[in-house]
Chains A and B, each alone.
Chain A
Amino acid sequence: MTQQPDHQPNHQPNHQPNHQPNHQPDQLVIRGLHVAVEGQEILKGVDLTIGRGEIHALMGPNGSGKSTLGYAIMGHPSYEVTAGTIELVAADGTRRDLLGMEPDERARAGVFLAFQRPMAIPGVRLADFLRHAVTNVRNPERKEGQELMPMKEFRSELKAKMSELSIDSEFARRYVNEGFSGGEMKRAEILQLAMLQPRFAILDETDSGLDADAVRLASQSIARIGGAGGDAASGANAMGILIITHHEQLLEHNVPHRTHVMLGGRIVESGGAELAAELHKRGYERIRAAYPDAAAAERAMEESTRNQEAAGV
């Protein structure tokens, strides 16, 4: 199923057509995406279009391929795209092939993935890591070894962002994700999202492992960041966000324009915010019954994973 970008967001200003020539990407467009990991196909033809200023929720049972989609968009080397395209499409029709880019080039093109399980980098302070990241993302043409963003400027911006997100300033001095609690890791991801201000963000279970209050805070933070920098009249600079979640709470302040259900490596159904509410309340039984082919694919993938585990792979 293909999403058309012409739907009307109901709680944000409408997306006005831009008549100026504009090479800035306006949409993240995924077509017929097949992805395999170690030879096993996980995604079996995914179509999804996310426009700037839109919030999309991606739901689905464990193992349905949601995280795989996030990794494939970001370019993880273990996730092999066997068919399909991922492109950034500008308002003037200019297309940039994301699949031809290295992960860091994708980040510089404005794509961000908040990791479900962020990696620790011992000995590297979060502030130093972020200064490097921010410098590169803001100057996509920067050559290695060229000056980083001035320390003073960076520090004051970081401090402001941290206070906005109610994050203790000591946090920036700690080593990247080293010894962080689950909640701290997710907050560090949100801080990075805020500093990098990508055009498109994929948030992979940014709510998992958090208690109800922390999820509410995360939800508010994401709403604030996603809307920040937006042109109030056109919404043109706001972020396009794909929220991967099992729960509804993260969506409290980020009401999805579209909700997508993934099953067996495909998006089998899309709807509005009410679909997220239904899935949260009732689970995936109706979906499995309505899409028996995808449900069969899901069972086969589970089976294959079990066999591999049994074989000690």
Chain B
Amino acid sequence: MSDEHTMTTAAPKSPAPIPAPTGFDHLLLDRLLAGSSLPDWAVKLRRDAVDRLDTLSLPGRGEENWMRTDLRMFQPRAWVSAAERPATSGGAIPSGLLESATQGAAAVAGTVAFGGRIASLDGHVVRDELDPALAGQGIVFGAPERILAEHGERFRSRWFSAVDGRADWFAAMHAAFHRAGAVLWVPAGVKLTAPLHVLSAITPGGLDTSHVLVVLEEGAEATVLTETVGGGESGSDGGFHCGATEIVVGRKASLRMVNLQNWSRGVWHFARQRAAVEAGGRLQWTLAALGSRLSQVQQDVALVGRGADAQVNGVMFTEGRQQLVYNTLQHHMAPGCHSDLLYKGALQDRSRLVWRGMIKVDKAAQKTDGYQRNDTLMLSREARSDSIPGLEIEADDVRCTHGATSGRVDEEQIFYARARGLTADEAARLVVAGFFQQVFDRITIPPVREALSAAIGGRIRRVS
């Protein structure tokens, strides 16, 4: 844990160079806000964010969380015009992996697949549905533009309260230019059974800046599935996602959250996500990543009330030249909380996966029980993974442990399975499926488990 302490001592900074204009400016914001019915406070937040953006450069490799992220080919300016891309007319709404799996399972079981669904394409909301019976229970669920226009005051104190919209260039860009996403508010004691679904899609070369806010009041329960899809395979036909997710799990509330990043292979993905779990609240948060060209994800869980519980699951599969970077934080701020993070990643081809995890325990957070683990499975010799666990503990009565493993698919395992009649590909798929089983066992939503398992299985090629 010693080396992780160095991050708290900031190096003396030389004066920052004046950032070059990126085109994400007040003029663009004015055009995007034309005709909007957002409350004034929400508009002001955006204008302040543009001011902040003007002072920032892209994060550099000197910064801890960005030193393993290669941004050399990323040009913000290339995506300005995508921000004004008009709505595709008459196009079908793309279907998400989790969405079809859930619908399939519901059809078999004869139950309702979703309590509500939101979808956006290139930042335009193309679906915004909530079961009227749920609306009748006081549940608020919808696209942010509509919800803020209708219920603005209710969310004023929550909007950008969990995530920091000023942290870096991407955070400020998102705070200024976010569009679509979802807002969910579940009143105290209301328990939602059917999951809610949020799909963010882009066309090749598109921009997605979706913002998701989930608030569960005391004793409420909900399941939320979000997923991304679309974009192109390379270059300016790829895509750019700059998003944020903020979650508040109230006292004794319980949330199951699943976020699948399934962009096409040319999409740049930047996400800042933070959950605050209040006393006695429970959060099961699963991140899955299959797509993108490059991902940089900050996933923070703050345990802010006594006895809060967070289980964090990660399922990553990378191939080609994909590069995925995850920075996770389990921040124990209150006593008697439990957090358990398990990230599992399999890497194919020349891909790279980075996980840098931190358990931070404040002085007040006695009787903390914190765990973090990262396992990676290498399917090729050219792939590379980095696991960097860290602990920063100020309380003296805590139990915090971490672990990391990295292994290869064993040729002898493959031969053994082939000797039983499985082809080399089937054998490799089976070994990889077995590797993920431990994390799948923790995901309590069967269609999610099955969709991820099938999607990963379909990508595995002969082990080299």
Contact = CB atoms under 8 A, between A and B. Distances in A.
Interface of A: 74-77, 102-104, 106-108, 112-113, 115, 118-124, 129-130, 132-133, 136-137, 144, 175-176, 192, 196
* 7 A-B pairs closest in CB distance: A123-B434, A123-B437, A136-B421, A107-B421, A133-B420, A124-B434, A103-B418
Contacts of A175: 434, 437
21 contacts: A74-B419, A75-B418, A77-B411, A77-B415, A102-B418, A104-B420, A106-B419, A107-B419, A112-B419, A121-B416, A121-B430, A121-B431, A123-B434, A123-B438, A129-B420, A136-B421, A136-B422, A144-B423, A144-B425, A175-B434, A175-B437
Nearest to B423: A104
B435 interface: yes
A120 B412 CA distance: 10
B426 interface: yes
Contacts of B419: 74-75, 103-104, 106-107, 112-113, 115
Contact of B436 (A123, A129, A176): A123
Of the candidates B411, B423, B427, the one having the most CB atoms from chain A within 10 angstroms of its own CB is B423
B70 interface: no
Contacts, number: 87
B418 A124 contact: no
B140 interface: no
Contacts of B418: 75, 102-104, 107
B410 interface: yes
B388 interface: no
B35 to A, nearest CB: 50
A129 B417 contact: yes
Contacts of A74: 419
Contacts of B438: 123
Nearest to A108: B421
Contacts of B423: 102, 104, 136, 144
Interface secondary structure of B, over-half rule = helix
Contacts of A107: 418-421
B22 interface: no
B188 interface: no
A104 B434 contact: no
Interface in B387-434: 410-413, 415-427, 430-431, 433-434
What range describes how many residues of B lie at the interface? 20 to 34
B376 to A, nearest CB: 14
Contacts of B411: 77
Contacts of B424: 102, 104
B138 to A, nearest CB: 43
A110 to B, nearest CB: 10
B426 A132 contact: yes
B422 A121 contact: no
Contacts of A115: 416, 419
Contacts of B434: 121-124, 175-176
A35 to B, nearest CB: 15
Nearest to A120: B413
A198 B132 CA distance: 60
B430 A132 contact: yes
A123 to B, nearest CB: 3
Contacts of A123: 433-438
Contacts of A103: 415, 418-419
A107 B430 CA distance: 17
Interface in B432-447: 433-438
Contacts of A176: 434
Highest count of chain A CB atoms <10 Å: which of B412, B416, B418, B426: B416
A118 B422 contact: no
Contacts of A102: 418, 423-424
Interface string B298-310: 0000000000000
A119 B413 contact: yes
A192 B421 CA distance: 11
B409 to A, nearest CB: 10
Contact of A144 (B410, B412, B426, B437): B426
B437 A121 contact: no
Contacts of B422: 104, 132-133, 136
Given A123-B435, A123-B438, A124-B430, A118 B416 contact: yes
A121 B411 CA distance: 12
B383 to A, nearest CB: 20
B426 A121 contact: no
Given A102-B424, A144-B423, A129 B435 contact: no
Given A104-B421, A130-B420, 10 more contacts: A104-B420, A104-B424, A104-B427, A107-B421, A119-B412, A123-B438, A124-B433, A129-B430, A133-B417, A176-B434
